[in-house]
Structure 1
Amino acid sequence: MKNLELILEKISGLIWGNFLILGLLGIGLFFTILTKGIQFRGFPLAIKELIASIQGKNHERGEGTLSSFQALCTALSSCVGNGNIVGVGTAIASGGPGAVFWMWIAGVVGMATKYAEIVLGIIYREKSEDGTYVGGPMYYLAKGLKLKKIAFLFALLMFLQICGGALIQSNAVSIVMKDVFDIKPLTAGISMSIVIFLIVAGGVRRLGKVAEKLIPFMTMIYFFGGLVIIFLHINHLPHVIMSILESAFRTEAVGGGILGYGIKRAVRYGVARGLYSNEAGEGSAPVLHSAAITDHPARQGLFGLLEVFIDTVIICSLTSFIVLTSGVIEQDISPAVYVITAFGNIHPIFRYIIGISMVLFAFSTVLSQWYFGNVTLTYMFNSRVANLFKYVFCCLAIVGSLSSLKIVWDFQDVILGFMVIPNIVALLLLSKQIKTATDEFFIKVRKEQ
Structure 2
Amino acid sequence: MDNLLYIVKTINDFVWGPYFLITLLCGAGIYFTIRLGFVQLSKFKIAYRRLFGSFSLHGDAAGKDGMTSFQAVATSVAAQVGTGNLVGASTALIMGGPGAIFWMWIAAFLGMATNFAEICLAQIYKTKDDSGHIIGGPAFYISRGLGGKFGKILAGFFAIAIILALGFMGNMVQANSISSGFSSAFNVPQWFSGGVLALICTIVFIGGVRRITRVAEKVVPIMAILYVAVGIVIIISNISAVPEMFLLIFKAAFNPSAAWGGATGATIATAMRYGIARGLFSNEAGMGSTPHSHAAAKVKHPVEQGVLGIMSVFIDTFVVLNITVFVILTSGSVEFIDGKATYVGITLVQQAFGSFLGVNAGYSFIAICLFFFAFTTIVGWYYFGEINIRYLFGKKGIRVFQILVVCFVFIGSTQKLDLVWELADMFNGFMVLPNLIAILILSPIVIKLLKDYDDKREYNVNDYIKS
Q: TM-score normalised by the shorter chain: which range applies?
A: over 0.9
Matched, 1:7 2:7: yes
**Conserved in 2, the CA contact under 8 Å of 1:247 and 1:262?**
no
Matched, 1:431 2:443: yes
**Conserved in 2, the CA contact under 8 Å of 1:221 and 1:353?**
no
- Structure 2 letter corresponding to 1:330: E
- Residues 57 and 411 (structure 1 numbering): CA distance in 2 closer, same or farther, change over 3 Å? closer
Give the alignment's TM-score, normalised by structure 1.
0.93
Residue 144 of structure 1 aligns to a residue in which SS?
A: helix
Which residue is 2:131 aligned to?
130
Which residue is 1:257 aligned to?
none
Within a 5 Å distance, the mapping from 1:104-115 to structure 2 comes to: 104-115=105-116
Task: State the 1:167 CA deviation.
Answer: 1.1
Which residue is 2:262 aligned to?
none
Q: Which moved more, 1:127-136 or 1:140-149?
A: 127-136
Matched, 1:153 2:162: no
- Structure 1 letter corresponding to 2:35: L
Deviations 1:43-73 (A, max 9, x none): 101111113322699989xx95111111111
Which residue is 2:235 aligned to?
230
Give the alignment's TM-score, normalised by structure 2.
0.89
Task: State the 1:301 CA deviation.
Answer: 0.5
- Alignment partner for residue 349 of structure 1, among 339, 361, 365? 361
- Residues 252 and 224 (structure 1 numbering): CA distance in 2 closer, same or farther, change over 3 Å? closer
Which residue is 2:333 aligned to?
328
C-alpha distance in structure 2 between counterparts of 1:311 and 1:248, whole Å: 21
- Structure 2 letter corresponding to 1:339: V
Percent of aligned pairs with the same amino acid? 38
- Residues 56 and 434 (structure 1 numbering): CA distance in 2 closer, same or farther, change over 3 Å? farther
C-alpha distance in structure 2 between counterparts of 1:58 and 1:40, whole Å: 28
C-alpha distance in structure 1 between counterparts of 2:266 and 2:89, whole Å: 20
Deviations 1:69-117 (A, max 9, x none): 1111111111111111111111112222222122111111100000001
- Structure 2 letter corresponding to 1:130: S
> Alignment length, in residue pairs?
439
Task: State the 1:355 CA deviation.
Answer: 1.3
Task: State the 1:251 CA deviation.
Answer: 7.5
C-alpha distance in structure 1 between counterparts of 2:120 and 2:222, whole Å: 28
Matched, 1:415 2:427: yes
**Conserved in 2, the CA contact under 8 Å of 1:170 and 1:397?**
yes
Matched, 1:397 2:409: yes
C-alpha distance in structure 1 between counterparts of 2:426 and 2:276, whole Å: 19
- Structure 2 letter corresponding to 1:155: A
Which residue is 1:256 aligned to?
none
C-alpha distance in structure 2 between counterparts of 1:199 and 1:437, whole Å: 36
- Structure 2 letter corresponding to 1:8: V
C-alpha distance in structure 1 between counterparts of 2:362 and 2:178, whole Å: 18
C-alpha distance in structure 2 between counterparts of 1:409 and 1:79, whole Å: 17
- Residues 58 and 4 (structure 1 numbering): CA distance in 2 closer, same or farther, change over 3 Å? closer
- Structure 1 letter corresponding to 2:55: I
Which residues of structure 1 form unaligned runs of 5+? 254-259
Which residues of structure 2 form unaligned runs of 5+? 259-264, 460-467
Within a 5 Å distance, the mapping from 1:51-130 to structure 2 comes to: 51-54=52-55, 64-130=65-131
C-alpha distance in structure 1 between counterparts of 2:396 and 2:203, whole Å: 19
C-alpha distance in structure 2 between counterparts of 1:167 and 1:55, whole Å: 31
- Structure 1 letter corresponding to 2:124: I
Task: State the 1:445 CA deviation.
Answer: 8.4
Which runs of structure 1 show a deviation greater than 4 angstroms over 4 or more consecutive aligned residues? Answer: 55-60
- Structure 1 letter corresponding to 2:146: L
Task: State the 1:124 CA deviation.
Answer: 0.8
**Conserved in 2, the CA contact under 8 Å of 1:118 and 1:301?**
yes
Matched, 1:358 2:370: yes
**Conserved in 2, the CA contact under 8 Å of 1:373 and 1:386?**
no
Task: State the 1:287 CA deviation.
Answer: 1.3
**Conserved in 1, the CA contact under 8 Å of 2:17 and 2:273?**
no
- Residues 71 and 158 (structure 1 numbering): CA distance in 2 closer, same or farther, change over 3 Å? same
- Alignment partner for residue 338 of structure 1, among 322, 336, 348? 348
Q: Which moved more, 1:362-371 or 1:341-350?
A: 341-350
Task: State the 1:182 CA deviation.
Answer: 2.1
Task: State the 1:349 CA deviation.
Answer: 2.3
